[in-house]
């Protein structure tokens, strides 16, 4: 079922938009070469702008006021005699101040002083026609101050109408600047001296006040200075001794409480308290207890002497046994004496123990408990007393520590103030000794000279500017004109941007009367000059490295003359002895079928829609053209689905049959940008030829047409440039600038929209060629 025209137009517009989006960016090198070619073609514009720029440059150079310049150079140094400025007087510090010094050179005060210093004869050279209120502004506009990178040098330059006036003005500016800097520094040094002296006196008063406070704190700190200069705190010594005594008292309290608990536990359980008494009581307590039991101090002394004699006898016995036998009289005597003393000690202790056990219940246990309680009470009292003393000393120590902290802070503050005072005294001494210390010194290392050569205008600079402006203007005009004119300019440009060779350039052909093969120029005038382009195209295709037996020919848009080119190429192949088959695959607007007068005859659409065998279907659809060796299959009735038919396996079978029968197969396809039929056919052939008309095809459209074939991997074998006029010899193909930007997207849906044949409309149809047997 046939689609309606508006819907198909919308589909084609969408397809064209997708094709436009798929066009790759133009190679920058290609754009550069194209622009170079445009410059070569429009070189008259470039030469004209250069000539105009040269004329204006010459007029300017001849009429411009001559200006002369004089230069001077200053060296900036910093002299330092101050410790405070040692770290500030680095080369970087001087460089950081150069911008400030530059502004000082062109300041109002310096320039006013320089103008006053200048003699009237030089002053009026540049200021004669300037109001006095604008003298400084005028001088500043002609004064240039700059620095040399990574140096402390300042260049001062003045431009004037007279070379002597320029040198005099630079000299005056230097003198005014040096005088200003000297006065500024001296005034600053005097002010600094007054400020520093006042600050130093305030510091001395503050130091004396801090020293008085420190002395008062030291007198109240109760410290003694030893012979070696060490300070000893009495309170600290007392706290140390009291702390040790308190530790001993706490220990005694713990021991007393433990002893009392042990005594009470022994009394409660009926244990023997004798050993406890012997171990815990002090010697005085034990002596008192033994006296109450009837053991005098004399008895204890005798017992001690006997025990001492016993130890001495044991030692004597061991010594003599080393030399004497066991039965020696002395050995026996020593053993008897030892035995007697041991018996005495044993009896004494046994008697004492017996008396102690007898008195334990009645005297010792109560007395032992009282002694333990008294011991605990004494220890507690001593501990309490020591704690009270310790707390008092602790408060005194805290107060003393606060005083020490204040003394430390005051000492640090005094040290800081004294150091600062020393620095102030040093700086005052420096300022008092000389006002040049720490100043930025400026020395003139290059005095201004009178230069008779003008600095403006300079011939080289004027010529360079004129050349630059002329070239830029000319190239800009050429670029604008070339951007507006969106057409190809040369075969080289075509090849460069399309990536395919230009196989033939066909001039504008003359109009022939008649129809069919008789109206084809190559058949009618085989030896004509106009037909040489088609024979050249035939030879290039025959000797191409890429197979070219099956070719599809298309164009960018309707009216490009693809039917004319293809019909002449087919006749050229036939004249070369090649059996050639020409197929009109333009099923929408069959221009080739119209050329041969077979619009009503069955043709390609009939074969492709037929279900009969191919040999049977071709009967009645294959026609002889009237040229030996050239057969023709017209388009046939217009189908509703041309693209589907051309992409069907039936069309592939047709090409396969033709390949076995003919030497050359040429397929006429619709314009590549109008519909998708050419790309559908291109997939089944060896390659494609693209016919363009430079006088009507836009560059972007041609590029899109070429990319449409490459997008489906159809080799673009070459380009045929059609309808070229040889009247103009400027290399631009001889076509005008006026051309239309649109063509109908509803390709092939009008009833009488036959394709133009190089501007010639067919007046009628010729006789139908004889059918092939």
pLDDT at 234 (0 to 100): 66
For 562-626, the DSSP string reads: HHHHHHHHHHHHHHTT--EEEEE--SSS-HHHHHTT-TTS--HHHHHH--S-HHHHHTTT-EE-S
What CA–CA distances, in Å, run from 461 to 60, 157, 159, 544, 594?
Answer: 12, 19, 17, 57, 69
CA distances from 540 to 76, 548, 569, 770 (A): 80, 10, 12, 32
Query: What's the confidence (pLDDT) of residue 547?
Result: 84
Q: How far is CA 225 from CA 241, 398, 408, 450, in A?
A: 20, 21, 17, 83
pLDDT band at 86 (very low <50, low <70, confident <90, very high): very low
Spell out the residues 6+ positions from residue 212 whose beta carbon is closer than 8 angstroms to its own.
none
- When pLDDT is cut at 50, 70 and 90, the band that residue 267 belongs to is confident
pLDDT digits over 296-311, tens only?
566 667 778 888 888 8
- CA terminus-to-terminus distance, the chain: 34
User: What does the buried/exposed string (b/e) look like for 594-616 if buried means 16 or more CB atoms within 10 Å of the residue's CB?
Assistant: bbbbbbebbbbbbbbeeeeeeee
Write the pLDDT tens digit of every residue in 351-380: 776 666 665 555 667 777 787 888 888 888
Token code pair at residue 751: 């009833």
Whether residue 227 is predicted with pLDDT greater than 80 in this model: the reply is no
pLDDT of 230 strictly over 80: no
Q: What is the chain's Cα-based Rg?
A: 65
Q: How far apart (Å, rounded) are the C-alpha atoms in residues 216 and 420?
A: 24
Exposure class string for 427-460: b at 16+ Cβ within 10 A, else e: bbebbeeebebbbbebebeeebeeeeebbebeee
Report residue 741's pLDDT band, with 50, 70 and 90 as the boundaries.
very low
* Residue partners of 321: CB distance under 8 A and separation at least 6: 331
Percent of the chain with pLDDT over 70: 79
> Which span out of 209-213, 258-262, 290-294, 581-585 was modeled with the highest average pLDDT?
581-585
Give all domains of the chain, ordered by start, each with its CATH number: 232-433 (no CATH), 491-724 (3.40.50.300)
pLDDT of residue 427: 77
Q: How far apart are alpha carbons 605 and 625 in whole angstroms? A: 19
Between 204 and 354, residue with greater pLDDT: 204
| pLDDT (mean) for 43-61 | 94
Give pLDDT tens digits for 421-458: 888 788 777 766 555 555 678 889 999 999 999 998 98
Confidence of residue 577 (pLDDT cuts 50, 70, 90): very high
Residue 614 contacts residue 653 (beta carbons within 8 Å): yes
What does each C-alpha distance from 647 to 4, 608, 619, 717 come to in angstroms? Answer: 22, 10, 22, 21
Q: How far apart are CA 572 and CA 710, in angstroms?
A: 28
Query: Where is pLDDT greater, at 619 or 232?
Result: 619
List the Cα angle 85/89/90 in 5-degree steps: 140
pLDDT the model gives residue 269: 78
Q: Please state, in angstroms and rounded to a whole number, the distance separating the CA atoms of residues 336 and 318.
A: 14
Q: What is the predicted pLDDT for the residue at 436?
A: 52
Distance CA(492)–CA(721), nearest Å, equals 12
* Pair 155, 105: CB distance under 8 Å: no
Q: Using a cut of 0.75, tell me whether the model's pTM lies above it.
A: no
| Long-range pairs of 59-63 with CB within 8 A, sequence gap ≥ 24 | 60/457, 60/462, 61/457, 61/459, 61/462
Q: Band the pLDDT of 666: cuts 50, 70, 90.
A: very high
- The CA-atom distances, in angstroms, between 486 and each of 43, 86, 697 are 19, 72, 9
For 616-656, how does the pLDDT look when each residue is reduced to its tens digit (9 = 90+)?
899 989 999 889 999 999 999 999 888 899 989 999 999 99
């Amino acid at each position: 079922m046939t689609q309606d025209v508006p819907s198909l137009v919308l589909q084609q517009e969408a397809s064209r938009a997708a094709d436009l989006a798929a066009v790759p960016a133009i190679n920058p090198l290609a754009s550069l070469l194209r622009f170079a070619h445009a410059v070569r073609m429009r070189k008259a514009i470039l030469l004209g702008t250069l000539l105009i720029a040269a004329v204006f440059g010459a007029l300017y150079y001849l009429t411009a006021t001559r200006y002369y310049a004089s230069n001077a150079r200053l060296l900036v140094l910093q002299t330092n005699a101050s410790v405070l400025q040692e770290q500030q007087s680095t080369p970087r510090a001087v460089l950081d101040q150069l911008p400030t010094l530059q502004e000082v050179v062109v300041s109002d005060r310096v320039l006013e002083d320089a103008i006053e210093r200048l003699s009237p004869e030089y002053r009026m050279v540049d200021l004669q026609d300037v109001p006095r209120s604008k003298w400084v502004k005028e001088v500043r506009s002609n004064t240039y101050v700059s620095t040399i990178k990574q140096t402390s040098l300042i260049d001062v330059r003045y431009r004037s109408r007279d070379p002597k006036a320029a040198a005099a003005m630079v000299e005056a500016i230097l003198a005014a600047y040096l005088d200003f800097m000297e006065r500024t520094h001296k005034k600053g040094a005097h002010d600094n001296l007054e400020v520093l002296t006042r600050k130093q006196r305030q510091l001395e008063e503050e130091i004396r006040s801090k020293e008085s406070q420190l002395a008062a704190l030291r007198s109240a700190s109760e410290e003694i200075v030893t012979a070696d200069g060490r300070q000893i705190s009495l309170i600290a010594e007392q706290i140390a001794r009291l702390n040790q005594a308190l530790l001993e008292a706490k220990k005694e309290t713990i021991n007393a409480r433990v002893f009392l608990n042990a005594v009470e536990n022994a009394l409660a359980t009926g244990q023997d308290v004798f050993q406890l008494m012997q171990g815990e009581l002090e010697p005085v307590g034990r002596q008192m207890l033994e006296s109450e039991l009837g053991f005098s101090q004399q008895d204890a002394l005798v017992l001690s002497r006997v025990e001492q004699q016993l130890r001495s006898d044991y030692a004597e016995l061991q010594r003599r046994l080393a030399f004497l036998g066991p039965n020696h009289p002395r050995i026996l005597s020593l053993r008897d004496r030892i035995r007697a003393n041991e018996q005495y000690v044993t009896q004494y202790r046994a008697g004492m123990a017996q008396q102690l056990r007898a008195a334990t219940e009645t005297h010792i246990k109560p007395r032992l408990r009282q002694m333990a309680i008294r011991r605990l009470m004494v220890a507690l009292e001593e501990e309490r007393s020591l704690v009270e003393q310790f707390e008092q000393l602790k408060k005194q120590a805290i107060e003393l520590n606060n005083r020490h902290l204040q003394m430390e802070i005051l000492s640090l503050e005094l040290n800081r103030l004294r150091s600062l005072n020393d620095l102030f005294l040093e700086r005052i001494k420096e300022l008092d000794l000389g006002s040049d210390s720490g100043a930025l010194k400026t020395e003139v290392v290059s005095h201004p000279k009178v230069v008779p050569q003008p600095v403006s205008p300079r011939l080289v600079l004027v010529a360079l500017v004129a050349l630059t402006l002329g070239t830029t203007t000319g190239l800009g005009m050429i670029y604008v004109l070339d951007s507006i004119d969106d057409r190809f300019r040369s075969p080289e440009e075509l090849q460069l941007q399309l990536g395919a060779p230009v196989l033939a350039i066909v001039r504008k052909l003359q109009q022939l009367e008649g129809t069919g093969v008789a109206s084809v120029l190559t058949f009618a005038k085989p030896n004509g000059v106009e037909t040489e382009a088609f024979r050249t195209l035939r030879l290039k295709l025959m000797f191409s490295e890429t197979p070219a037996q099956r070719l599809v020919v298309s164009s960018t848009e309707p009216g490009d003359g693809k039917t004319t080119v293809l019909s002449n190429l087919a006749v050229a192949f036939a004249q070369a002895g090649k059996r050639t088959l020409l197929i009109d695959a333009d099923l929408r607007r069959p221009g080739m079928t119209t050329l041969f007068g077979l619009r009503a005859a069955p043709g390609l659409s009939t074969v492709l829609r037929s279900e009969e065998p191919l040999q049977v279907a071709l009967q009645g659809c294959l026609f002889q053209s009237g040229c030996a060796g050239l057969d023709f299959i017209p388009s046939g009735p217009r189908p509703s689905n041309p693209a589907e038919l051309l992409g069907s396996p039936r069309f592939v079978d047709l090409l396969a049959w033709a390949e076995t029968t003919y030497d050359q197969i040429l397929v006429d396809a619709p314009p590549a940008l109008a519909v998708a039929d050419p790309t559908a056919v291109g997939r089944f052939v060896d390659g494609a030829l693209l016919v363009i008309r430079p006088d009507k095809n836009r560059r972007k459209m041609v590029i899109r047409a070429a990319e449409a074939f490459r997008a489906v991997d159809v080799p673009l074998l070459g380009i045929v440039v059609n309808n070229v006029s040889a009247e103009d010899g400027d290399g631009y193909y001889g076509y005008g600038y006026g051309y239309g930007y649109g063509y109908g997207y509803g390709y092939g849906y009008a009833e009488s929209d036959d394709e133009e044949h190089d501007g010639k409309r067919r007046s009628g149809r010729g006789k139908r060629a004889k059918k092939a047997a």
